[in-house]
Amino acid sequence: MPAVVNPNKRPPRPAVAMAAADSTINLTTMGPQSQRRLTLKDRTHQLQASSLRQPTKKLKAGDQQTLFSGRAFDPNQDCAKCKAKLRGRDIHRGHHHLCWNNRRTKGVVSVAALASIEEEKRLRQHFAASLAKKDKFSWQHTTKEAQEAFFAPRPLVQKGNKTIIHTMMSGKKSTTTATTTTTAAIIGTPPSSCISATDLCEAVTSKVNVASFVEEHKGSRAPLAMLALAGVVVEKIICDRRVDTFEYFTGLALTVLSTKEGQMHPQYHSIVGQKLLYVNWKEMFGLEVNCPRCPTGIFANDRTNFSKNKILFPIFDLEGPPHWCMIMSMKCSCCRLRTHSNTDQVLCQLAACARASYPVETKYALAERNSHIGTLATQMFDLLMTTYGNGKLCSRLLCNAINRLYLERVENYYSYAKANQQASIVPYLGKKGEYIKAYPPLGDGI
């Protein structure tokens, strides 16, 4: 009887194809044992891995597997007290040390974990208790040197027309600058050796008339005249050590005053009355800011947003156009944390007299924002939002303040030319894209 041929049997592989697939195999000399060597090695590793994965006890339905392929602890199966309670009985025996119903171990075996639980319980009781009367207003934990330094009189050192007040802050001596005369920051009447408002007007006008300067800053959010003013102030006042900075700045702000000498250029006329803020606490107030992340770190000044990217930070308020700020980027000397000088973490550490020079409330000085809202506006919005909850109205108030002042500027500019009978005048700036380039946040943002 002939042998039955299996119709599903795979045909033998041709020798030519096998040789092409692996030219190193010699079919004439290789035996069957050596051909199965790789297969046996792979099979051995599979058996080893499967044996490690097999639990010591066979898992049942619902059992949880551990990292070492065992069965996780289950109080209903492994704790005698919990198991008996599940069946309606109560035995006089403590819970298993791995059971989470154990009041002593809480299901934790580690000695360090148990010590941490006890320490947490002790600290909770310690802070919950009220302060004893003997510990109130006590000098027990302070040194005698610290007591004498706290009550020591603070000397006043006269320097020009400023008074340097030496204060003790965080155990280190820092200087806080306070002006004693009312002529500080008045650009219209500076000393003869300083820069006058007319000099600033001429410098700003010459900058805005340069085509390359206009092309470079055409995409900036700040007005062109304010960028030119910031460049002149940095070059001739801040960076020039021969000029006293406090003759021009009140706190952090420099107010742009009118020249009152004929008609001004429209670009400079559009920024008269606005404020340029130089937010540098170390240079303007002599204050050192501690890092909120590490206890020993102190922020060091790096560079401003204007010196790096030629941009200014706006603060919108109800007085009219926004205040433009040169924000200092600060970096911690210890943990390398980087932050800006106008964030809430920095402002909370400053004294109230220094913090008031930045016209933004601390709770609204949020980081990672492209603008801030001034103190006057936020005080009004607090009343409106709690009553009406209308963010759109708040946004319209900020926009209306800018539009209203623009109309006043245009009227003053052309009325002066008409009163003096000037034949030819330079056209005034357009509102959108020239006078207003940065808009307040919308109602959803507020």
What pLDDT is attached to residue 221? Answer: 87
One domain for residues 235 and 115: no
Q: Which domain holds residue 222?
A: 187-392
Element (H, E) at 405: helix 391-419
Alpha helix locations (H) across 234-287?
Answer: 266-269, 281-284
370: its two tokens: 């492209």
Report yes or no on 210 lying in a domain. yes
Any domain includes 239? yes
Residue 289 lies in a domain: yes
426 contacts 265 by C-beta, under 8 angstroms: yes
Which of 367, 392, 417 is the C-terminal boundary of a domain? 392
Q: What is the pLDDT of residues 116-168, one digit of tens each?
A: 888 988 999 988 888 777 777 777 777 888 888 877 876 654 434 344 333 33
Cα 394–395–400 angle (5° rounding)?
Answer: 100
Same domain, 96 and 192: no
Indicate whether 444 belongs to any domain. Answer: no
Residues 119 and 247 in one domain: no
Q: Examine the domain organization and report whether 123 and 195 are in the same domain.
A: no
pLDDT of residue 18: 53
What's the total number of domains in the chain? Answer: 2
Report the pLDDT value the prediction gives residue 162, as an integer from 0 to 100: 41
The whole-angstrom separation of Cα 79 and Cα 100 is: 10
- Does one domain contain both 104 and 241? no
DSSP 73-87: P-HHHH-HHHHHHHT
CA 77 to chain centre: 52
CA-CA distance, 55 to 76, in Å (whole number)? Answer: 20
338 plus 226 within the same structural domain: yes
Based on the fold, state whether residues 342 and 209 are members of the same structural domain. Answer: yes
Order of strands across the sheet with 156-159? Answer: 156-159, 162-169, 172-179
pTM above 0.75, yes or no: no
- Gyration radius of the chain over CA positions: 39
Scanning 143-287, the segments in alpha helix (DSSP H) are 144-151, 197-208, 211-216, 224-233, 266-269, 281-284
SS3 (DSSP) at 345: helix
> Are 271 and 387 within one domain?
yes
Distance (Å) of CA 212 to CA 206, 220, 224: 12, 14, 12
Q: What is the pLDDT of residues 250-284, one digit of tens each?
A: 889 999 888 876 678 888 888 888 999 999 998 88
End residue of a domain, out of 343, 363, 392: 392
Query: What is the spatial distance between Cα 63 and Cα 188, in angstroms, rounded to a whole number?
Result: 85
Angle at 51 between CA 50 and CA 57, to 5 degrees: 110
Task: Determine the pLDDT at residue 55.
Answer: 53
Cβ atoms of 362 and 315 closer than 8 Å: no
pLDDT digits (tens, 9 = 90+) for 227-254: 999 999 998 888 888 888 888 888 899 9
| pLDDT at residue 54, as a whole number | 56
User: Which pLDDT value is given to residue 188?
Assistant: 38
Collect the ranges in the chain with pLDDT lower than 50: 16, 19-20, 23-25, 157-192
372 and 252 both lie in a single domain = yes
Specify the residue for token string 């919308």.
442
Angle at 120 between CA 119 and CA 125, to 5 degrees: 100
Block residue for tokens 């319209």? 396
Q: Residue 425 contacts by C-beta under 8 Å, 6 or more apart in sequence?
A: 263, 414, 417
pLDDT in the model for residue 315: 92
To which residue do tokens 């199965």 refer?
36
Enumerate the β-bridge partners of residue 433: none
Instruction: List the beta bridge partners of residue 172.
Output: 169
Beta strands in 74-181 (DSSP E): 156-159, 162-169, 172-179
Helices 197-208 and 224-233: angle between axes, nearest 10 degrees: 120
What one-character-per-residue DSSP string does 328-370 give? EEEEETTT--EEETTSHHHHTTS-HHHHTTS-S-GGG--SS-S
Within a domain: residue 352?
yes
Whose CA is closest to 224, among 274, 278, 276, 271?
271
Task: Give the CA distances from residue 42 to residues 21, 25, 36, 49, 257, in Å, rounded to whole numbers and listed in that order.
Answer: 20, 19, 10, 11, 87
For residue 171, the model assigns a pLDDT of: 37
Decide: 268 and 196 in contact? Cβ < 8 Å: no
Q: Does 37 fall in a domain?
A: no
Let me know if residue 429 belongs to a domain: no
Beta-strand pair 162-169/156-159: antiparallel
Residue 181, φ and ψ in degrees, nearest 5: -120, 165
Same domain, 123 and 191: no
Residue 383 domain-assigned (yes or no): yes
Residues 120 and 244 in one domain: no
Instruction: Examine the domain organization and report whether 117 and 217 are in the same domain.
Output: no
Question: What is the percent of the chain where pLDDT is above 70?
Answer: 78
